[in-house]
């Protein structure tokens, strides 16, 4: 027995003797198979039939056979590749690993990828369509058939369309997970009804980037950078965690330095060479001080800035008398930022001036290989947070790190956007519940103000779809959402399309179960690096069935229960809205291959793969496959790699025919549309801004009533440190940060993720804790402008003094034993006092429960965390429309009657705060009587004529 045995143990003499005595056959020890080096994935040519040993039976060697089907993760937005192991015998998905052929995720995943199987096997998931049977929110449900649900909803929509009530139909999405699918559906209905989550997420960062580059997102090339500056926590979360985390560390291992600006010691900050824990809200000052160092010390890339920044326009607008010379511009710009001394930035941010100067010089040394990224964080937390993104991009521009290897490109360069088989015309409606006049520059829909608009009487909704969206929980001021959603005169019919229970679904009329990753079709593309790819999310059991020769017509045939996929739902619903074609809706859902017949989801994607992806038909043909077969087999396609310096590329000569260059600006236009800009006498593509250059000066800001913000600057945050007095128990609450294991409220049903992280104590610095006389584990009451929540504290040296932080994700709740995920949600009671004050109290924490999954009886954690967002009022940034998340709070030791998880909110105060912030806006119309600048992006863009504010309409009642 001693020493090493073969593949298994070797039975000893006594055991052999006893076996013989018992008349049992001798144990046979299988020899170990000879092996070479191990590989990460089964070879692609064995994906149809992959044999491996059953882990549960091991060390008995029981063979199981799988068919391996690629799909894409649907937890965060990154759309990482997954490879589903479908057991050929049981027909079930055994597990998910990474898809090695995916250019973004390269076969690797974060914790949420393999946890997808929890979501699929969740015993609490919704398997059948449900219809409300009691009051809204009462949680009495009855099962209905899909036909009943579809006919009822379609009938309502048809009626609204026929009566011209187009603006009463709205689709509100949290995680889209697709490219342009819904845009086409909504356009086919002719409605302006697309609402999103963007303004509680990334609106400010988008505006900051948009102003510079005309593309609302950055695409940093981390892997090739010499210095990476993050105001985000991309080593643990973010837009796009896993793909970016891979490339950040790849860059770092090649010698790049990593600098992280964050008031909290995120895991990302902990990995950094320099952690700059600046005061929240001061980031723009910090970055502008770095810009000043680069300008003062003449460390900028003069050639790049001279060629690609709209400095002439800047001089003309801001200093009309000046001669138009680049040196003159530099003098002016140095003047402009002279006030941002390192000392001033230190006073604002708390970061030592010497560090600011040092990092600025390092950025300049990195030059064109300086990669930078902000997505949410400071941009989403602060009033004027978009200036942070703008100041960060300023640094990239100054050192010429735009579109370069190791630099930051506009996201549009690295994202694939498909053309679709028939594009309905733009709608001719403008829905002011989405784009109200107060926010002409909003990025984008004023989603989180929807209940306030409804309660103010700005409109009503007849059919309101929420899809993978949980505003009651995720958005600020959830009780106002509950008030609006509960009012049938404001919301006629609320349809929740969701794979899992959410707090919002509790206030629905229909809860319609939709598939998780691996249970639906989609294509998705993200700007993860300097390349272009897209991934094909597919229902894996359907794909497996087809591989096995079983033809399926609808995805729900292979999904569990009566779970549908959205794509088929929208086709089916649209068809029923217009069964005879008289509304002009139906024709957009007729097959491109079988005229007059209803399009199938397979035909929809087949058409894209055959007609809209450069290189795909050829790649498929080379393997003897159709493009659809290729995508079903490999799950992802790389359209381009090594995408750099697209702004330099000359405008193709065929496009130049009939084009004219503006003599003053050099912008090349064809039929009124800017297609490039003259640089060095050549018409080049440039950037998607009005000047086709990087805009240090935005004429739009000036024209749209914000002249003081025409150039990058520093806006004092609503939580500026001078407004907060820690000696009175006032602190700044940073409520936005995420954990690597969780994604909003969608991961609540993943048991393995919940096991790792299930509570969200208030992080507080040792000195602040001492001032409040609290220790780790003690309860505190955190009071906001509209109410309070009670949570424990966690005392740490990993946060800036004066700042407390509470993670997003946790604090889920349910109000009854039905409806809600018991893995993650506390049972609560909700009461509303006659004066309108809402109170929520935990009745029980997380408890083990019996289900088909024996693990549910092994739940060992009890704390569900505390819901904080519901105690926040809305803070719409007057320019970007972003909800400014940071809160000035009062933190005190819990009072005698306070219990863990207690929440109190006065929604009358919510409305007051809403009105106060609304009054800061500078409403449309802008130049030419427009609602919104024409060049600015807008999801599901309406027809140009609808951009004009109607002459007869009264200005909105604010």
Partner 1 sequence: MNYGFVIDNRKCIGCHACTVACKAEHDVPLGVNRTWVKYVEKGSFPDTRRLFSVLRCNHCEDAPCVTICPVTALFTRQDGIVDFDPNRCIGCKACMQACPYDALYIDPRTHTAAKCNFCAHRVEVGLEPPCAVVCPEHAIIAGDLDDPSTEIARLVQIERTTVRKPEKGTRPKVFYIEGERAALVPGETDTEEAYVWSQGREPGVEPRAPAPGAPGRLDDRSWARVQSVMGSKAASARRTYDAGQTHRDSWGWKVSAYLWTKSVAAGCLMLAPFLWGWGNPPYEARLRMAALALSLIFLAATGVLLVGDLKRPGRFLWVLTRPQWRSWLTRGSYILLGFGAAAAGLAAAEWLGLPRLWNLLAAPAVALGAAGAVYTAFLFWQAKGRDLWQSPLLPLHLLVQALTAGLAAMVLVKAALPAPLPLDAGGFLETWLWRALALDTALVLLELLAIHPTEDAARAARWALSGPRGAWLAGGALMAGRLAPMALLYLGHPAASAAAAALALAGLAAYEHLYVRAGQSVALS
* Residue 195 touches partner 1, criterion: CB under 8 A: no
Nearer to partner 1, 396 or 741 (CB): 741
Query: What residue has token string 């003159």?
Result: 328
* Sign of the C-alpha dihedral computed for residues 667, 671, 675 and 679 taken in this order: negative
* Residue 796 touches partner 1, criterion: CB under 8 A: yes
* Sign of the C-alpha dihedral computed for residues 764, 770, 772 and 778 taken in this order: positive
CB of 389 to partner 1, least distance (A): 24
CA dihedral 10, 14, 17, 23 (to 10 degrees): -70
**Tokens in use for 810?**
């946790």
CB of 265 to partner 1, least distance (A): 5
For partner 1, the binding residue among 181, 212, 275, 704 (CB under 8 A) is 275
For partner 1, the binding residue among 249, 837, 920, 937 (CB under 8 A) is 249
CB of 560 to partner 1, least distance (A): 18
| Size of interface with partner 1, in residues (CB under 8 A) | 116
CB of 51 to partner 1, least distance (A): 7
Backbone angles phi, psi at 689, to 5 degrees: -95, 170
Alpha-carbon distance 424 to 427, whole Å? Answer: 9
CB of 842 to partner 1, least distance (A): 10
For partner 1, the binding residue among 48, 88, 107, 598 (CB under 8 A) is 107
Nearer to partner 1, 553 or 766 (CB): 766
CA distances, 662 to each of 352, 673, 674, 924, 927 (Å): 47, 12, 10, 28, 20
* Residue 359 touches partner 1, criterion: CB under 8 A: no
Query: What residue has token string 């795909």?
Result: 616
Question: If we measure between CA atoms, which residue out of 556, 555, 586 comes closest to residue 571?
Answer: 586
* Residue 740 touches partner 1, criterion: CB under 8 A: yes
**Tokens in use for 753?**
């993720």
For residue 132, list its beta bridge partners: 141
* Residue 44 touches partner 1, criterion: CB under 8 A: no
User: Which range of residues in 144-152, 549-557, 754-762, 933-941 is near partner 1 by CB under 8 A?
Assistant: 754-762
* Residue 36 touches partner 1, criterion: CB under 8 A: yes
Q: Who contacts 353 (Cβ-Cβ below 8 Å, separation ≥6)?
A: 341, 342, 343, 345, 346
Nearer to partner 1, 120 or 412 (CB): 120
CB of 528 to partner 1, least distance (A): 12
* Residue 623 touches partner 1, criterion: CB under 8 A: no
Nearer to partner 1, 428 or 767 (CB): 767
* Residue 254 touches partner 1, criterion: CB under 8 A: no
**Tokens in use for 828?**
């609560």
**Tokens in use for 220?**
């940093």
Q: Are strands 762-765 and 787-796 parallel, antiparallel or unpaired?
A: parallel
For partner 1, the binding residue among 516, 556, 759, 814 (CB under 8 A) is 759
* Residue 862 touches partner 1, criterion: CB under 8 A: yes
Alpha-carbon distance 512 to 126, whole Å? Answer: 8
**Tokens in use for 913?**
């705060």
* Residue 954 touches partner 1, criterion: CB under 8 A: no
* Residue 222 touches partner 1, criterion: CB under 8 A: no
Subset of residues 568 to 607 that bind partner 1, contact rule: CB under 8 A: none
* Residue 113 touches partner 1, criterion: CB under 8 A: yes
* Residue 51 touches partner 1, criterion: CB under 8 A: yes
Nearer to partner 1, 270 or 486 (CB): 270
**Tokens in use for 336?**
């402009």
For partner 1, the binding residue among 799, 903, 905, 936 (CB under 8 A) is 799
User: Which range of residues in 1-9, 339-347, 383-391, 620-628 is near partner 1 by CB under 8 A?
Assistant: 1-9
* Residue 769 touches partner 1, criterion: CB under 8 A: yes
* Residue 728 touches partner 1, criterion: CB under 8 A: no
User: Which range of residues in 96-104, 214-222, 597-605, 629-637 is near partner 1 by CB under 8 A?
Assistant: 96-104
Question: If we measure between CA atoms, which residue out of 737, 731, 736 comes closest to residue 266?
Answer: 737
Rg of the chain in Å (alpha carbons): 29
For partner 1, the binding residue among 59, 425, 650, 950 (CB under 8 A) is 59
Subset of residues 9 to 28 that bind partner 1, contact rule: CB under 8 A: 9-12, 14-15, 18
* Residue 892 touches partner 1, criterion: CB under 8 A: yes
CB of 365 to partner 1, least distance (A): 23
* Residue 38 touches partner 1, criterion: CB under 8 A: yes
Query: What residue has token string 């007051």?
Result: 912
Nearer to partner 1, 661 or 756 (CB): 756
Residues in the chain: 958
The number of angstroms, rounded, from the C-alpha of 517 to the middle of its chain's C-alpha atoms is 16
Burial label, 897 (beta-carbon count in 10 A; 0-12, 13-18, 19+): exposed
Burial label, 948 (beta-carbon count in 10 A; 0-12, 13-18, 19+): middle
Subset of residues 536 to 555 that bind partner 1, contact rule: CB under 8 A: none
* Residue 440 touches partner 1, criterion: CB under 8 A: no
State whether residue 593 is helix, strand or coil.
coil
For partner 1, the binding residue among 265, 379, 541, 639 (CB under 8 A) is 265
* Residue 354 touches partner 1, criterion: CB under 8 A: no
Nearer to partner 1, 235 or 366 (CB): 235
For partner 1, the binding residue among 537, 738, 758, 932 (CB under 8 A) is 758
Nearer to partner 1, 38 or 622 (CB): 38
Subset of residues 806 to 825 that bind partner 1, contact rule: CB under 8 A: 807
* Residue 756 touches partner 1, criterion: CB under 8 A: yes
* Residue 56 touches partner 1, criterion: CB under 8 A: yes
Alpha-carbon distance 374 to 234, whole Å? Answer: 9
* Residue 66 touches partner 1, criterion: CB under 8 A: no
For partner 1, the binding residue among 109, 188, 880, 946 (CB under 8 A) is 109
* Residue 91 touches partner 1, criterion: CB under 8 A: no
Nearer to partner 1, 89 or 835 (CB): 89
* Residue 768 touches partner 1, criterion: CB under 8 A: no
Alpha-carbon distance 499 to 513, whole Å? Answer: 5
The number of angstroms, rounded, from the C-alpha of 590 to the middle of its chain's C-alpha atoms is 32
CB of 682 to partner 1, least distance (A): 42
Question: 910, 786 in Cβ contact below 8 A?
Answer: yes
Nearer to partner 1, 221 or 578 (CB): 221
Other beta carbons less than 10 A from residue 762's beta carbon:
28
Check whether the bond before 42 is cis (ω within 30° of 0).
no
* Residue 162 touches partner 1, criterion: CB under 8 A: no
Alpha-carbon distance 871 to 867, whole Å? Answer: 8
Largest separation between any pair of C-alpha atoms in the chain: 109
For partner 1, the binding residue among 66, 74, 96, 634 (CB under 8 A) is 96
User: Which range of residues in 393-401, 495-503, 553-561, 764-772 is near partner 1 by CB under 8 A?
Assistant: 764-772
User: HSE (CB half, 13 Å, CA atoms) of 20?
Assistant: 7
For residue 370, list its beta bridge partners: 227
Other beta carbons less than 10 A from residue 195's beta carbon:
27
* Residue 751 touches partner 1, criterion: CB under 8 A: yes
Check whether the bond before 59 is cis (ω within 30° of 0).
yes
State whether residue 808 is helix, strand or coil.
coil
Nearer to partner 1, 125 or 759 (CB): 759
Question: If we measure between CA atoms, which residue out of 535, 530, 564 comes closest to residue 636?
Answer: 535
* Residue 61 touches partner 1, criterion: CB under 8 A: yes
Nearer to partner 1, 587 or 899 (CB): 899
* Residue 236 touches partner 1, criterion: CB under 8 A: yes
For residue 98, list its beta bridge partners: 82
Alpha-carbon distance 246 to 238, whole Å? Answer: 13
Question: 467, 193 in Cβ contact below 8 A?
Answer: no
């Amino acid at each position: 027995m001693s020493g090493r045995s073969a593949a298994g143990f070797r039975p000893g003499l006594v055991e052999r003797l006893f076996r013989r005595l018992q008349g049992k056959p001798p144990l046979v020890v299988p020899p170990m198979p000879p092996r070479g080096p191990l590989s990460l994935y089964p070879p692609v040519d064995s994906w149809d039939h992959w044999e491996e040993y059953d882990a549960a039976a091991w060390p008995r060697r029981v063979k199981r056979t799988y068919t391996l089907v690629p799909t894409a993760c649907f937890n965060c937005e990154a759309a990482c590749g997954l490879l589903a192991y479908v057991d050929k015998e049981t027909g079930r998905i055994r597990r998910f690993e990474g898809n090695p052929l995916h250019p973004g995720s390269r076969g690797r995943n974060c914790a949420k990828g393999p946890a997808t199987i929890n979501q699929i096997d969740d015993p609490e998931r919704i398997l059948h369509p449900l219809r409300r049977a009691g009051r809204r929110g009462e949680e009495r449900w009855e099962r209905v058939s899909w036909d009943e649900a579809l006919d009822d909803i379609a009938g309502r929509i048809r009626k609204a369309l026929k009566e011209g009530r187009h603006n009463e139909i709205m689709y509100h999405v949290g995680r889209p997970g697709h490219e342009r699918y819904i845009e086409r559906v909504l356009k086919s209905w002719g409605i302006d009804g697309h609402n999103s989550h963007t303004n509680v997420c990334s609106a400010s960062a988008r505006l900051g980037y948009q102003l510079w580059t005309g593309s609302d997102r950055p695409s940093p090339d981390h892997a090739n950078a010499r210095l990476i500056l993050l105001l985000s926590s991309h080593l643990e979360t973010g837009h796009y965690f896993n793909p970016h985390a891979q490339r950040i560390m790849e860059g770092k291992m090649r010698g790049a330095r990593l600098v992280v600006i964050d008031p909290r010691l995120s895991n990302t900050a902990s990995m950094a060479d320099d952690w700059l824990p600046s005061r929240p809200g001061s980031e723009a000052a910090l970055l502008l001080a770095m810009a000043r160092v680069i300008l003062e010390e003449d460390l900028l890339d003069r050639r790049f800035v001279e060629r690609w920044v709209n400095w002439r326009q800047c001089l003309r607008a801001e200093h009309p008398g000046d001669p138009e010379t680049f040196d003159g511009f530099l003098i002016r710009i140095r003047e402009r930022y002279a006030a941002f001394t390192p000392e001033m930035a230190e006073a604002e941010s708390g970061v030592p001036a010497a560090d600011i100067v040092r990092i600025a010089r390092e950025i300049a040394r990195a030059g064109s290989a300086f990669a930078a990224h902000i997505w949410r964080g400071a941009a989403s937390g602060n009033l004027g947070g978009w200036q942070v993104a703008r100041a960060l991009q300023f640094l990239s521009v100054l050192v010429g790190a735009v579109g370069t290897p190791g630099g930051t490109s506009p996201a549009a360069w690295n994202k694939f956007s498909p053309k679709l088989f028939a594009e309905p015309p733009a709608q001719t409606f403008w829905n002011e519940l989405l784009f109200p006049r107060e926010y002409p520059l909003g990025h984008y829909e004023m989603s989180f103000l929807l209940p306030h608009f409804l309660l103010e009487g700005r409109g009503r909704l007849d059919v309101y779809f929420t899809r993978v969206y949980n505003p009651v929980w995720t958005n600020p001021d959830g009780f106002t959402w509950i008030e609006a959603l509960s009012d049938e005169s404001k919301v006629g019919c609320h349809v929740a399309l969701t794979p899992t229970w959410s707090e919002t679904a509790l206030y629905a009329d229909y809860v319609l179960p939709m598939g998780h990753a691996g249970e639906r079709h989609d294509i998705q593309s993200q700007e993860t690096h300097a390349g272009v790819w897209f991934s094909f999310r597919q229902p894996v059991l359907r794909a497996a069935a087809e591989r096995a020769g079983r033809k399926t017509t609808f995805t729900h045939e292979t999904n569990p229960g009566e779970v549908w996929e959205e794509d088929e739902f929208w086709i089916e619903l649209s068809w029923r809205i217009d069964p005879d074609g008289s509304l002009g809706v139906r024709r957009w859902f007729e097959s491109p291959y079988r005229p007059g017949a209803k399009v199938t989801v397979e035909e929809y994607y087949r058409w894209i793969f055959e007609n809209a992806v450069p290189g795909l038909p050829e790649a498929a043909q080379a393997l003897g496959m159709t493009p659809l077969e290729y995508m079903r087999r490999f799950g992802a396609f790389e359209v381009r790699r090594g995408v750099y310096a697209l702004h330099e590329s000359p405008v193709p000569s065929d496009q130049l025919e009939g084009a004219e260059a503006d003599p003053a600006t050099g912008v090349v236009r064809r039929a009124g549309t800017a297609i490039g800009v003259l640089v060095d006498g050549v018409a080049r593509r440039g950037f998607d801004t009005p000047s086709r250059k990087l805009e240090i000066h935005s004429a739009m800001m000036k024209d749209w009533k914000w002249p003081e913000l025409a150039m990058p600057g520093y806006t004092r945050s609503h939580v500026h440190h001078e407004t907060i007095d820690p000696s009175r128990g006032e602190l700044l609450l940073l409520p936005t940060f995420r954990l690597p294991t969780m994604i909003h409220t969608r991961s609540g049903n993943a048991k393995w993720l919940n096991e790792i992280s299930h509570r969200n104590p208030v992080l507080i610095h040792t000195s602040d804790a001492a001032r409040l006389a609290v220790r780790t584990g003690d309860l505190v009451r955190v009071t906001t402008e509209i109410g309070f929540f009670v949570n424990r504290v966690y005392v740490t040296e990993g946060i800036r003094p004066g700042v407390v932080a509470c993670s997003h994700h946790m604090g889920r709740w349910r109000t009854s034993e039905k409806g809600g995920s018991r893995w993650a949600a506390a049972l609560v009671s909700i009461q509303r006092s006659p004066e309108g004050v809402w109170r929520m109290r935990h009745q029980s924490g997380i408890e083990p429960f019996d289900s088909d999954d024996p693990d549910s009886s092994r739940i060992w954690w009890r704390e569900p965390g505390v819901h904080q967002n519901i105690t926040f009022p809305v803070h719409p940034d007057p320019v970007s429309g972003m909800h400014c998340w940071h809160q000035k709070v009062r933190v005190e030791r819990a009072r005698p009657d306070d219990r863990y998880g207690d929440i109190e909110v006065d929604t009358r105060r919510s409305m007051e705060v809403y009105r106060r912030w609304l009054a800061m806006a500078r409403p449309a119309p802008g130049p030419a009587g427009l609602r919104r600048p024409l060049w600015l992006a807008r999801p599901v863009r309406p027809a140009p004529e609808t951009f004009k504010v109607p002459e007869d309409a009264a200005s909105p009642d604010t």
